[in-house]
Amino acid sequence: MNLNQLYYFRTLAEFQHYTKAAAHLYISQPSLSNAMKSLEKELGCVLFEKTGRNVKLTEYGRMFYNTTCSTLNILDEGKTELAQKIKRDAGIINIACIPTSIGTRLPKLIKDFQEKNTKSPYFILHDAFSLPILDGLTNGKYDIGICSRDLHYQELSFIPLFSEKIMVIVPPTHPLAAKKKLTPSMLRHYNLITYSEKTPIGASVRHELNAKCPNLTFAESYDGEIAIAGQVVENNDVGIVADTVLVNSFNVVKVPLAVPSDTRTVYIAYNHTRQIAPTLQAFIDYIQSTNAQHYTTV
């Protein structure tokens, strides 16, 4: 029995189809079939039975599946911890950042830290949206993130970094373009485009809007400012976005929206349940000591 056989077995058990499982594993179907026959021979039992074109686990297979999953999960956790240890010893910090800040605030934050610390780590930057960043912090892919906060991630700590104003964006010819400021109730008769409510910023924006005007109409939702602004320009729609540099490349008028100033807050996030390297702790301490005041503007 070897490690590949265990991975193959788990994948086949989950797909319940030799062709699909083989494609997922990037091996040929005969190779997968031979590996399973060899495993069954070694264990002395039948692990799968055919059901039409599919296969399903036998009673023996279900027992072995539970053991296999536990074993591989422990092994994967060990590999992750080892990789994290190697990274820490090498002085490497993987930092993930939302697209709106990876080219503006983040470089300045890192540069200022490096100027004040002679033993500065090497930063590897990753561009991602908030939810993938939070997942990456949870599973050890990233060491630190700049993203929205989601309190469902209880193993993560969040340090406020900066806030962004919430704006209504419309084409220059739109009736709302002449307004100096808007309230949620003034948007009642328009179909609105904003962030998906599945995202932290989308949930926050919708919560504040519904608290002030519960009968607003949301026509469409997107993950980021580029998609929202693009729809506004092409379809003469009304968008609600954070005031980021990504909006500036579109021919739209930005009108301030009367919602709390902390509706859109961006945080430094890290996993406090994992061992934190001294270099990473120094970076976190630096952010806390500056209280992020220097980074409230670009």
Domains located in the chain, CATH noted: 3-82 (1.10.10.10), 91-163+265-295 (3.40.190.10), 166-256 (3.40.190.10)
pLDDT score, position 87: 66
Which residue in 153, 155, 263, 160 sits closest to 203, CA to CA?
263
Per residue in 185-195, pLDDT (tens digit) is: 999 989 899 99
pLDDT score, position 298: 35
pLDDT score, position 72: 94
pLDDT score, position 291: 59
pLDDT under 70 in the chain at which residues? 87-90, 291-298
pLDDT score, position 83: 78
pLDDT score, position 1: 83
pLDDT score, position 223: 84
